[in-house]
Amino acid sequence: MSRPRLIKESSAPLPLDRELLVRIHDLMVKTRTLEERLIQMYKQGHGYFWIGGPGEEAFNVPLGLLMKKGQGPEYDYLHAHYRQSGTLLALGEEPIGALRQMKNTATDPYSGGRNFAGHFSLRKYNVAPVSSPIEVQYAIAPGTAMVQKRLGGDGITIVTGGDAGTAEGDFASCLVWSSRPANPLPILIIVTNNKWGISTSGDGQHGETRVSDRGKAFNIQSKTINGNDPVEAYQELKAAMEYVRKERKPFLLEAMVSRLYGHSSASGANYVADEVDCLKTFEARLEQEGVLTRQQMDDLRNRYTEEMAAAARTARDEPLPAPETIWKHIFAEDK
């Protein structure tokens, strides 16, 4: 294992409550085992395509924990990326939903067998549908933020996406629409920077020193953080969210993360050993600080691995959507 370079000196005491650290760890392990199961399902032919977030748990889990969860503009909106299973699990979703989406069963709670893995959609928690075109969520997010701004209260809009996607005009749209002096918006603009498009490196894609520097031109407060450290991610997300909640102004947060299984099944979905593994690093720290023992963490992982396998077996036996359901939901019926 390469030495994690970005992590703070491990001698520093962990600044979060033990209970919270254990919870974050639990969700990170749950997310990792879910993703590993999804990849396995894909490789065994129980799905057509995999894309997901192993490597981003340290950032995505805190994000889900910190969201003000509920439906409607009083609560936070998440215009999500396709790597956010950690956020969804932290919001309280059961992993079997993602497995059902992988298997395209009629029971898939996010799309009824219609959409790819990782393409979550959950109105009850304001999770806008994830859609495959890169960055469109950045053009949509200002809309929910506008409604929230007008409503008052402390609900905010959160939008996430990848670094390569910031080349799309929608990212610029988001910066422009969020920061107009006459109407700044309560929006947390997040870029998870794993330094890659699919196979195009960041160097070949964009030239700014930090993606977060792009906020400067728009007078948007911004910061780059180590998204591989759940403690830093939790604290920085909390600070950024508090700013947006209170000031009703945008914040641009760039999180440096890893892409532990490559881009997707399109690039093989195999473990990439030279990336920082946020879970391993976090576990080493938890052990060192005496928060959890190796044994406890191994037991947890084994338990979740078994749970995911059982859930995958359940999903595997469930029926596909009936062909005639293609005609359902083209239009909303009056509610």
Partner 1 sequence: MANMAQAIRMALHYAEEKLGVTDIFGEDVGAPLGGVFTCTQGLKTTWNSPLDERGIIGAAMGIAMGGGRPVAEIQFCDYVYNTIDLLKLAGNTCWSSNGDWNLPMVVRTPVGSGIRGSIYHSHSFDATMTHIPGWKVVMPSTPLDAYGLLISACKEQNPVMFLEPKALLRVKGEERIPGEPDDDRALSKLIDAPLGDRSQWVPQWPQLEEYAVPIGKGKLVREGTQVTVVSYGRTLPLCARAAATLADEGLSVEVIDLRSLWPYDWEMIKSSVQKTGRVLFVNEDTEVTNFGEHLMRRTVEELFYSLLAAPRLVAGKFVPGIGLADTLEMASVPQQNDITTALRTLANEQP
Binding residues for ligand TPP (CB under 6 A) = 83, 132-134, 161-165, 194, 196-198, 263
227 binds, among partner 1, ligand TPP, none (CB under 5 to 8 A by kind): none
Contacts of 87 (CB under 8 A, 6+ apart): 60, 61, 63, 64, 67, 78, 80
170 binds, among ligand TPP, partner 1, none (CB under 5 to 8 A by kind): partner 1
Helix, coil or strand: residue 174: helix
83 binds, among ligand TPP, partner 1, none (CB under 5 to 8 A by kind): ligand TPP
Pair 42, 270: CB distance under 8 Å: no
| Binding-site ranges for partner 1 (CB under 8 A) | 72-73, 77, 79, 108, 110-112, 114-115, 119, 121-123, 128-129, 131, 133, 136, 138-148, 157, 169-170, 173, 176-177, 180, 328-335
In the complex with partner 1, which residue's Cβ is closer, 120 or 304? 120
In the complex with partner 1, which residue's Cβ is closer, 112 or 202? 112
Instruction: Please report how close the Cβ of residue 148 comes to partner 1 at its closest, in angstroms.
Output: 7
Report DSSP letters for 268-327, one per residue: T----TTS--HHHHHHHHHHHTTSS-HHHHHHHHHHHHHHHHHHHHHHHTSPPPPGGGGG
134 binds, among partner 1, ligand TPP, none (CB under 5 to 8 A by kind): ligand TPP
Instruction: Please report how close the Cβ of residue 172 comes to partner 1 at its closest, in angstroms.
Output: 8
Instruction: Please report how close the Cβ of residue 246 comes to partner 1 at its closest, in angstroms.
Output: 20
Contacts of 120 (CB under 8 A, 6+ apart): 80, 84, 85, 88, 93, 98, 101, 110, 127, 129, 130
In the complex with partner 1, which residue's Cβ is closer, 122 or 292? 122
53 binds, among ligand TPP, partner 1, none (CB under 5 to 8 A by kind): none
Residue type at 269? A
In the complex with partner 1, which residue's Cβ is closer, 159 or 300? 159
Distance CA 79, CA 2 (A): 33
Distances (CA, A) of 169 to 57, 174, 197, 220, 263: 28, 9, 16, 18, 22
The DSSP bridge partners found for residue 162 are: 192
Query: For residue 21, which of 67, 55, 61, 56 has the smallest C-alpha distance?
Result: 61
331 binds, among ligand TPP, partner 1, none (CB under 5 to 8 A by kind): partner 1
In the complex with ligand TPP, which residue's Cβ is closer, 89 or 260? 260
In the complex with partner 1, which residue's Cβ is closer, 185 or 191? 185
- CA contacts within 13 A on the Cβ side of 185: 28
198 binds, among ligand TPP, partner 1, none (CB under 5 to 8 A by kind): ligand TPP
Q: Which residue is nearest to ligand TPP (CB)?
A: 162
Instruction: Please report how close the Cβ of residue 239 comes to ligand TPP at its closest, in angstroms.
Output: 24
In the complex with ligand TPP, which residue's Cβ is closer, 108 or 163? 163
Provide the b/e sequence for 62-82 (b: ≥16 CB within 10 Å): bbbbbbbbeeebebbbbbbbb
